[in-house]
């Protein structure tokens, strides 16, 4: 930037007025060519419109400070509904519910609770946020309130199992098969996204998704490198629920 300023380039227009030869002489072939193209809005790099979501939240700023817990509770319900709708629309669920409060004196606080299992359920999000509000209190009045969910993971979708061999298309002569209900699994094996598990051969991991009689697990821990993802039968006898891993660094 300093070298550009030295030759009188302070705006995009100044840059566009320079020739390719001038910019290459000033900044080198790679940077000079890049500056020349960008000054003319020439950029063939792919546009990446979205980043992976880390949290989903909603908040409201009130015209006056609110102290009535019943009114604030209804505001929480409304925000939880918006958060839940967005989670379900994006196929995410989250494990941590956070309440954001800004008091009458503009002090901003956050209170969080981590749930046993990820959720996208509006009622559970609202109930958790209401409990956090009851603990924090509304003394003096609240100017802003927000509800968020973080610690996101993807629910299992049909495309998680896209490696399955495709079924042949039915013909007019084919008889429509009777639907086969999915076998009911014991409660202990009704896996949930985010659940900690252990496999006899693959080790410790957590449930990434479930469906179609299968469960997808990422085999890694809080102190390991990113691990492999494997899809197993939901009733695989080698897969068992596990206690949460130890997040402490070794002493």
Residues 28 and 90 in one domain: no
pLDDT tens digits, 197-216: 899 988 888 887 777 778 88
Q: Give how far Cα 168 sits from Cα of 82, 131, 178, 179, Å.
A: 41, 52, 17, 17
Domain annotation covers residue 235? yes
Q: Helices 20-27 and 29-39: crossing angle, nearest 10°?
A: 140
Domain annotation covers residue 133? yes
Domain annotation covers residue 169? no
Tell me: pLDDT of 70 over 80. yes
Domain annotation covers residue 45? no
User: Residue 221: which domain range?
Assistant: 187-241
Tell me: pLDDT of 69 over 80. yes
Strands (E), 91-141: 92-103, 108-119
Tell me: pLDDT of 179 over 70. no
pLDDT tens digits, 5-34: 777 777 777 878 888 888 888 777 777 777
Beta bridge partners of 230: 217
pTM comes to 0.46
pLDDT above 90 covers a percentage of the chain that reads 28
Domain annotation covers residue 30? yes
**Residue 30 and residue 20 in contact, taking contact as beta carbons nearer than 8 Å:** no
Domain count, the chain: 3
């Amino acid at each position: 930037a300093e070298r550009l300023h030295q030759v009188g380039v302070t705006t995009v227009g100044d840059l566009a007025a320079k020739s390719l030869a001038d910019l290459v002489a000033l900044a080198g072939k790679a940077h000079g060519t890049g500056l020349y193209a960008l000054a003319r809005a020439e950029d063939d790099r792919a546009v990446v419109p979205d980043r992976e979501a880390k949290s989903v939240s909603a908040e409201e700023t009130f015209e006056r400070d609110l102290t009535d817990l019943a009114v604030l509770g209804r505001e929480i319900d409304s925000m939880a509904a918006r958060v839940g709708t967005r989670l379900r629309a994006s196929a995410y669920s989250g494990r941590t519910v956070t309440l954001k409060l800004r008091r009458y004196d503009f002090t901003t606080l956050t209170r969080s609770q981590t749930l046993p299992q990820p959720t996208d359920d509006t009622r559970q999000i609202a109930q958790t946020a209401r409990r956090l509000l009851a603990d924090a209190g509304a003394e003096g009045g609240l100017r802003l309130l927000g509800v968020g969910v973080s610690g996101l993971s993807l629910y299992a979708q049909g495309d998680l199992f896209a490696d399955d061999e495709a079924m042949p298309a039915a013909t007019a002569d084919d008889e429509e098969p009777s639907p086969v209900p999915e076998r009911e699994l014991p409660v202990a094996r009704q896996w949930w996204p985010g659940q900690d598990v252990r496999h006899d051969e693959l080790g410790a991991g957590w449930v990434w998704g479930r469906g179609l009689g299968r469960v997808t697990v990422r085999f890694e821990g809080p102190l390991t490198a990113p691990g492999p993802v494997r899809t197993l039968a939901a009733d695989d006898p080698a897969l068992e629920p596990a206690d949460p891993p130890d997040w402490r660094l070794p002493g």
